[in-house]
Amino acid sequence: MTASLIDGAALARSLRAQVAERAAALTARGRPPGLAVILVGEDAASAVYVRNKVKDCEESGIRSVLQRLPAQTPEADLLARIQALNVDPSIHGILVQLPLPAHIDTRRVIETISPDKDVDGFHVASAGALMTGQPGFLPCTPYGVMRLLEHAGARLAGAEAVVVGRSNIVGKPQALLLLQADATVTICHSRSRDLAAHTRRADVLIAAVGRARMITGDMIKPGAIVIDVGMNRDETGKLCGDVDFDSAREVASAITPVPGGVGPMTRAMLLVNTLEAAERKR
Ligand code: NDP
């Protein structure tokens, strides 16, 4: 079997076009959606992520406000800026780019963002809403994965879904979303015994680990749908996922590539969340 490709770049493009249309409608009524992005320090990768987010906003008709702060910014200053943005009616979403410098308490920063502007979905109120099935913002990566699965025609009800990775921003919320969709969910992590025994049972396999090509074709059930969240550099510096794409695609029925799978969807879902925040405020 050669798996079909789940094209995250194309799906993200169509989502961006929908966001642009809805953003234009809000703007025409004098209420342009607005996203505030705060970057603290000089981390090169963070600077690239932030640049991309600002560019995505511009292309989708979302007004973005970028605040670049020096690495030595005191935590109290950062919290005060967030509090000001919380009450700014022109701002509908607030994103603080992570990681933050070591002297700043990341949890405190995230909890200072008003939950109704928490478009990253990292606030404990957003996590609690997801856990209890209440409306709230979903973290962009697992939200994007659910859209990819829908696009791929995955039948989740009753399916065996295995998530490898249990971080607060990917693995755990991913597992909850799959559970909400009536899958039978297994979460694996670094202490799981016999990882392959779990992954081989998966009708839907989500890899969110951060280890280049660790999931090989022999660990995949024939016909499975495989979503590769990982973003790693291999020994030659090439971008690759957690899944060994070449061996996996011989076994799976559908698979996301890296790049061009989950990454563009994560970016697109931030726009979707920001737009929804603005529409709720209307
Ligand atoms: P974390 O490092 O926070 O979590 C990694 C998880 O993988 C942990 O739960 C860890 O287990 C588990 N793990 C580590 N080694 C193994 C192993 N040998 N077997 C099974 N599980 C293991 O990473 P993130 O969740 O933030 O990100 C995961 C990957 O996804 C990274 O490559 C990251 O770059 C990428 N990513 C991609 C995004 C995109 O848009 N495409 C967005 C976000 C992340 P334990 O808890 O026991 O330590």
Give percent above pLDDT 70 in the chain.
100
Q: Please state the domain extents for the chain.
A: 33-116, 140-263
Global pTM value: 0.98
Could you report the per-residue pLDDT of 160-196, keeping only the tens digit for each?
A: 999 999 999 999 999 999 999 999 999 999 999 999 9
Distance 87 CA to ligand 1 centre (A): 34
Q: Splitting the chain (282 residues) into consecutive groups of 10 residues, what average pLDDT does each group show?
A: 95 98 97 97 95 96 98 98 98 98 98 98 98 97 98 98 98 98 98 98 98 98 98 95 98 98 98 97 72
Candidates 3.30.200.20, 3.40.50.10860, 3.40.50.10490, 1.10.10.10; CATH matching 33-116: 3.40.50.10860
Nearest residue (by CA) to ligand 1, atom 41, is 263
What atom of ligand 1 comes closest to residue 262's alpha carbon? Answer: 41
Judge residue 280's burial from the number of C-beta atoms within 10 Å of its C-beta, 0-12 exposed, 13-18 middle, 19 or more buried.
exposed
Task: Tell me whether the CATH fold assigned to 33-116 matches the one assigned to 140-263.
Answer: yes
Closest Cα to atom 18, ligand 1: which residue? 190
Residues 22-46 have pLDDT tens digits of: 999 999 999 999 999 999 999 999 9
Class of domain 140-263: alpha beta
